[in-house]
């Protein structure tokens, strides 16, 4: 097609390519404003809190910080937090793998209901996640009397904390694995079987290498929540210092006692955990993207 | 995709899944329902209908609604900026958006309370300049819930914006649409379902939120007392029935929301033709 | 290894994927399972492999009942449609997989494994890719590695699911011939699934046409093409013109001056090359017009319509060799006479 060439009467600025470009991109001033709003928002809501934690933790110097951390109550809280994570994360990881395997590799009745039920704990308020265990195992709960008669303590003791944490971190691993394994399909596993691999070899040599980054991702998020859970644990723990206080509970107790340095020193450990989690998470996302 | 019958491990995997799910989730959750059956209908209505409980529901839902709305607006801007623009430190800022997911709520709670209390960095500024007090007021609750909501909105919108077919914009531009028209008529309608989902997600998370709120809220009955806190208070005062009734109501509302969110996501998928 | 399938049926819910299939496949055959998508051919292949269980019926290998035998013990090699190469392993490790994970007693030493894998990679002409990962290979290379991997365990039966489906047209052509030659060298019983009749004709020594879970016909490519058993096979394999003698076609044919000398049924299927076309000099007898023609290389395809039909009527396709077309001096719009040389009759 040949265009009829006419002397241009229009000014240069409104030639079609410029018009289209301006319709595809925001003007510079708007771009800068939007970036400024976004970054300002992120700074105020996300960066500032991290800085404040450090500021108050070290407000009275490094000595006071270490003193606060080395207190027996703080150390006991750290220990309990680690213990909780050590029990709950492996348990929920094992569950996540089993659930993802059952759901993505087989057809059965009620599969979508099962998938929904697995996600259930995410939509339950943390406080309610604690309450249900009090209702089961507390003094007025269903098993309260029996437990008292047999001298077993669950609520206001470590088992209760672990149960509540298991509940709130329940879906993390399964939720990472299910969509990935669904998308992967099972051709590679069938190939391994057709080549004569045993079930375990198929799992460890083919399935696991393929899901490892997503699995680690789920474990990471599960661990962060297990160590940081507050609401559910606070309901079942009873806040006994040195015994049933996890680190987040210790932060609360110290803060309410106006031990600012103590509260923020403990908080700094948890904030550090959060930052490490974010860094690892970003690395894992990068790994998964590169796969 | 075909599901194979020859894959090993169906029985052990499903068996373990069902037993574990029942022990950790289903049986404990059903306790709440069974415990509520011990209440008569009148008792239930008396508890839920009491002024303090109603007020706490108003506070929880009201602040969650406002927070989700504000977070949605800023979330759209943040997601847009992260996906469409490149600038120094973008990866860093994008990574830090997940902080509220990773930071224990107790830490978020004391930090926000510290920042916004009348002597805090921002609290003092807001009080001196605008006469606004944030901490120990319902506004404090909103602030904490915005903090909690940001990643929900941004992380729901980002993939949608990333996958957005920019040739649609080019098509609109070739037909003479302005940038503003393209945004309102082409881009926004396409991200709207995701935005709605994000809103619902952050709302449902906010309603149940406890740790990050209680430090900044002031917890004044009738004014800044949220439902989860009221449940804890009742429990600590050994009003098991009261706690149970309120908790069950909360739970049912959460499930209603879960259902709603599922419908929304179904709708989103249908619209984008990925079903 | 010879394979016998007797009375194989399989349902998925209400959908009947396979309906009482009986089939015998002699040792050393290169067989194509040909059919439209959803006809059950892949399910049949997976049942032979042991990746799927039939609801009823038996699978026999060399007369031995394999129906309930695990896929691992059947001695088959399976090439998946999308190759299913292990993404986290190198090409070498992929091919070595089957040998390395044999039970300890049967496992060859690592040195022998290395030697075998190298030979296999040489066989598929890809020995220079041993250290690459599947992501770094082209489609055709992946396909050949998948084949090498399946061959590594020295299967008695080689099964391929749409082996060329995901490849570019040119690569596909090349690999088809290569597979045929490979089979001539190895002589392992080979079954492949395809929906492409041209591919089945080109590669296979024997074709089984499957439709709606049933075997429509089994035979050599020339039998299938020249003597189709039924309407479906005739339409599915190769092109054909369909004339219903009892319906409105009867009148149409008469007025067009087309005559079937010796009707043996109600439906006539005529392959395009079985219609010869001649230019009419005086242009009164026939109402058939050459509407358009396409140059397909060695042959010319003619689109013929009835003059008065105005495009609304039937189009008849005929084919003639390139040089014959040139001699005939046919042009668009010419009136022509048609002679049916051969037809297949169905009821």
Residue in chain B closest to C54 (alpha carbons) equals B5
pLDDT tens for each residue of B125-172:
888 888 888 888 889 999 999 999 999 999 999 998 988 888 888 877
Which residues of B fall within a CB distance of 8 Å from C51? 4, 6
B235 in the same domain as B121: yes
Quick check: A115 contacting C, CB < 8 Å? no
pTM exceeding 0.80:
yes
Residue A13 binned pLDDT confidence (cut-offs 50, 70, 90): very low
B203 in the same domain as B104: yes
pLDDT at C313: 64
Domain of B232, CATH number, reads 1.10.3720.10
B148 in the same domain as B27: no
Token pair 């061959």 in the structure block, residue: C151
pLDDT tens for each residue of C211-259:
999 999 999 999 999 999 999 999 999 889 888 877 766 667 776 667 7
Q: Which helix (H) or strand (E) holds B150?
A: helix B138-163
ipTM: 0.89
Interface test with A, best of B25, B92, B107 (most A CBs within 10 A): B107
**Cβ pair B240:A263 closer than 8 A:** no
B64 in the same domain as B19: no
List the chains bordering chain C where 3 or more Cβ pairs fall under 8 Å: A, B
B91 in the same domain as B227: yes
- Of residues A42, A116, A228, nearest to B104 (C-beta): A228
B205 in the same domain as B114: yes
Print the SS3 string covering chain A: CCCCCCCCCCCHHHCHHHHHHHHHCCCHHHHHHHHHHHHHHHHHHHHHHHHHHHHHHCCCHHHHHHHHHHCHHHHHHHHHHHHHHHHHHHHHHHHHHHHHHHHHHCCCCCHHHHHHHHHHHHHCCHHHHHHHHHHHHCCCCCCHHHHHHCCCCCCCCHHHHHHHHHHHCCCHHHHHHHHHHHHHCCHHHHHHHHCCCCHHHHHHHHHHHHHHHHHHHHHHHHHHHHHHCCHHHHHHHCCCCCCCCCHHHHHHHHHHCCCHHHHHHHHHHHHHHHHHHHHHHHHHHHHHHHC
pLDDT tens for each residue of B1-16:
344 468 888 999 999 9
Residue A6 binned pLDDT confidence (cut-offs 50, 70, 90): very low
B45 in the same domain as B32: no
- Of residues C49, C84, C149, nearest to A187 (C-beta): C84
pLDDT tens for each residue of A248-284:
999 999 999 988 888 999 999 999 999 999 999 999 8
Q: Is the pLDDT of residue C307 over 70?
A: no
Residue C332 binned pLDDT confidence (cut-offs 50, 70, 90): confident
**Lowest-confidence region among B146-155, B177-186, C182-191:** B177-186
Quick check: A105 contacting C, CB < 8 Å? no
Quick check: A192 contacting C, CB < 8 Å? yes
**Lowest-confidence region among A19-23, A53-57, A238-242:** A19-23
pLDDT tens for each residue of A21-37:
677 788 888 889 999 99
B252 in the same domain as B212: yes
**Cβ pair B228:A47 closer than 8 A:** no
pLDDT tens for each residue of B36-65:
888 888 988 998 889 999 999 999 999 999
- Number of domains forming the structure of chain B: 2
Strand order through the sheet with C315-321: C275-279, C335-340, C288-295, C299-306, C315-321
Query: Under a CB-based contact definition with an 8 Å cutoff, are residues B91 and B126 in contact?
Result: no
Residue in chain C closest to B6 (alpha carbons) equals C51
Task: Work out whether the CA dihedral C24, C28, C34, C37 comes out positive or negative.
Answer: positive
**Nearest CA to CA, how far is A7 from chain B (Å)?**
23
B5 in the same domain as B66: no
CA distance C311 to C291: 9
pLDDT at C285: 60
B51 in the same domain as B27: no
Interface test with C, best of A181, A191, A202, A289 (most C CBs within 10 A): A191
B267 in the same domain as B201: yes
Containing structural domain, residue B7: 1-37
B77 in the same domain as B13: no
CA distance A103 to C40: 25
C 34-63 residues with CB < 8 A to B: 46, 50-53
**Cβ pair B5:C71 closer than 8 A:** no
């Amino acid at each position: 097609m040949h265009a009829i060439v006419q002397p241009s009467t229009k000014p240069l600025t409104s030639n079609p390519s410029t018009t289209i470009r301006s319709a595809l991109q925001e003007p510079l001033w708007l771009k800068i404003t939007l970036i400024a709003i976004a970054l300002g928002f992120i700074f105020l809501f996300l960066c500032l809190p991290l800085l404040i934690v450090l500021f108050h933790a070290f407000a009275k110097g490094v000595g006071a910080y270490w003193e606060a951390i080395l207190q027996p109550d703080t150390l006991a809280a750290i220990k309990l937090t680690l213990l909780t994570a050590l029990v709950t994360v492996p348990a929920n990881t094992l569950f996540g793998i089993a659930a993802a395997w059952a759901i993505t590799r087989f057809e059965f009745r009620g599969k979508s209901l099962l998938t929904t039920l697995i996600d259930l704990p995410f939509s339950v308020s943390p406080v309610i996640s604690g309450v249900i265990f009090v209702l089961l195992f507390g003094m007025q709960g269903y098993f309260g009397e029996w437990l008292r008669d047999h001298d077993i303590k669950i609520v206001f003791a470590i088992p209760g904390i672990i149960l509540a944490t298991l509940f709130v971190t329940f879906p993390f691993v399964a939720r990472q694995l299910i969509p990935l394994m669904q998308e992967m399909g099972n051709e590679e596993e069938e190939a391994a079987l057709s080549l004569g691999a045993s079930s375990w070899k198929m799992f460890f040599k083919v399935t696991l290498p393929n899901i490892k980054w997503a699995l680690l991702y789920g474990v990471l998020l599960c661990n962060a929540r297990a160590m940081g859970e507050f609401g559910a644990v606070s309901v079942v723990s009873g806040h006994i210092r040195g015994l049933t206080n996890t680190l987040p509970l210790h932060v609360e107790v110290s803060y309410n006692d106006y031990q600012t340095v103590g509260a923020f020193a403990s908080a700094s450990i948890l904030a550090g955990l959060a930052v490490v989690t974010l860094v690892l998470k970003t690395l894992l996302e990068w790994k998964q993207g590169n796969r | 995709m075909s599901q194979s019958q020859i894959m090993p491990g169906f029985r052990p995997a499903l068996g373990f899944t069902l037993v574990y799910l029942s022990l950790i989730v289903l049986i404990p959750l059903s306790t709440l329902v069974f415990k509520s059956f011990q209440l008569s209908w009148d008792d239930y209505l008396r508890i839920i209908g009491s002024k303090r409980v109603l007020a706490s529901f108003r506070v929880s839902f009201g602040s969650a609604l406002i927070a989700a709305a504000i977070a949605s607006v800023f979330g759209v801007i943040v997601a847009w900026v992260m996906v469409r623009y490149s600038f120094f430190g973008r990866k860093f800022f994008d990574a830090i958006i997940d902080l509220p997911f990773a930071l224990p709520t107790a830490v978020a709670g004391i930090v926000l309370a510290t920042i916004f209390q009348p002597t805090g960095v921002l609290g003092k500024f807001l009080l001196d300049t605008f006469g606004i007090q944030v901490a120990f007021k319902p506004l404090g609750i909103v602030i904490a819930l915005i903090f909690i909501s940001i990643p929900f909105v941004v992380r729901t919108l980002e993939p949608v914006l990333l996958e957005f077919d920019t040739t649609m914009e080019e098509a609109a531009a070739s037909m003479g649409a302005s940038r503003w028209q393209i945004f309102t008529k082409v881009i926004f309608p396409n991200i709207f379902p995701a935005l709605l989902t994000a809103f619902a997600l952050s709302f449902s998370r906010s309603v149940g939120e406890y740790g990050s709120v209680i430090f900044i809220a002031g917890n004044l009955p009738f004014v800044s007392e949220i439902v989860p806190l009221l449940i804890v208070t009742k429990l600590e005062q050994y009003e098991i029935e009261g706690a149970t009734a309120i908790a069950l109501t909360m739970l049912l509302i959460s499930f209603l929301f879960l259902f709603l969110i599922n419908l929304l996501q179904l709708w989103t998928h249908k619209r984008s033709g990925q079903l | 290894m010879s394979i016998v399938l007797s009375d194989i049926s399989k349902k998925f819910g209400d959908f009947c994927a396979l309906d009482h299939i009986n089939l015998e496949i002699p040792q050393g055959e290169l067989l194509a399972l040909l059919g439209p998508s959803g006809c059950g051919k892949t399910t049949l292949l997976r049942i032979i492999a042991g990746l799927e269980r039939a609801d009823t019926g038996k699978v026999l290998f060399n007369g031995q009942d394999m129906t309930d035998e695990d896929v691992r013990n059947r001695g088959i090699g399976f090439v998946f449609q999308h190759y299913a190469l292990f993404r986290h392993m190198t090409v070498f490790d992929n091919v070595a997989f089957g040998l390395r994970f044999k039970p300890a007693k049967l496992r060859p030493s690592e040195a022998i494994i290395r030697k075998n894998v190298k030979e296999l990679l040489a066989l598929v002409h890809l020995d220079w890719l041993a250290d690459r990962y599947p992501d770094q290979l082209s489609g055709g290379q992946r396909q050949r590695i998948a084949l090498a991997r399946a061959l590594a365990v020295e299967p008695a039966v080689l099964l391929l699911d749409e082996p060329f489906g995901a490849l570019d047209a040119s690569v596909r052509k090349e690999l088809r011939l290569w597979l045929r030659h490979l089979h001539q060298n190895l002589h392992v019983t080979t079954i492949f699934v395809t929906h492409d009749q041209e591919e089945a004709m080109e590669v296979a020594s024997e074709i089984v046409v499957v439709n709606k879970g049933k075997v429509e016909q089994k035979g050599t490519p020339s039998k299938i093409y020249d003597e189709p058993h039924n309407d479906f096979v005739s339409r599915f394999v190769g092109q054909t013109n369909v004339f219903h003698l009892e319906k409105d076609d009867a009148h149409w044919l008469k007025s067009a001056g087309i005559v079937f000398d010796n009707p043996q049924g109600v439906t006539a299927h005529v392959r395009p090359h079985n219609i010869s076309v001649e230019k009419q000099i005086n242009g009164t007898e026939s109402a058939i017009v050459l509407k358009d023609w396409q140059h397909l290389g060695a042959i010319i395809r003619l689109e013929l319509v009835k003059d008065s039909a105005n495009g609304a009527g039937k189009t008849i396709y005929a084919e003639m060799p390139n040089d014959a077309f040139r001699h005939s001096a046919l042009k668009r719009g010419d009136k022509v006479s048609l002679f049916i040389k051969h037809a297949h009759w169905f009821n």
